[in-house]
């Protein structure tokens, strides 16, 4: 089982862009006014998870 990768809860995300600004892998982008994670780029560092002010990003094991 791999490490958990970041996953954005689309219903919670308020599109502030903080996760995009801090991602060291450029693995987050804005799509339709919501952040989304490019799985293949995510290195499971969890920086975006900790940064999200409203807890809209969680770790998910694929």
> What are the residues binding another protein (CB under 8 A)?
14-18, 20-24, 26, 29-31, 33, 47, 49-55, 57-58
- Chain-centre distance for alpha carbon 35: 7
Q: In the complex, what is the shortest distance from the CB of residue 57 to another protein, in angstroms, rounded to a whole number? A: 7
Q: In the complex, what is the shortest distance from the CB of residue 7 to another protein, in angstroms, rounded to a whole number? A: 12
Q: 6: closest CA among 32, 14, 24?
A: 24
Q: In the complex, what is the shortest distance from the CB of residue 37 to another protein, in angstroms, rounded to a whole number? A: 13
Q: If you compute the radius of gyration of the chain from its CA atoms, what whole number of angstroms results? A: 10
């Amino acid at each position: 089982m791999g490490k958990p990768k970041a996953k954005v809860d689309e219903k919670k995300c308020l599109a502030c862009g903080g996760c995009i600004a801090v991602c060291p892998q450029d693995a987050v982008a804005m799509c339709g006014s919501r952040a989304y994670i490019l799985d293949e780029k995510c290195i499971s560092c969890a920086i975006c998870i900790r940064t999200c002010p409203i807890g809209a990003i969680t770790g998910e094991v694929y």
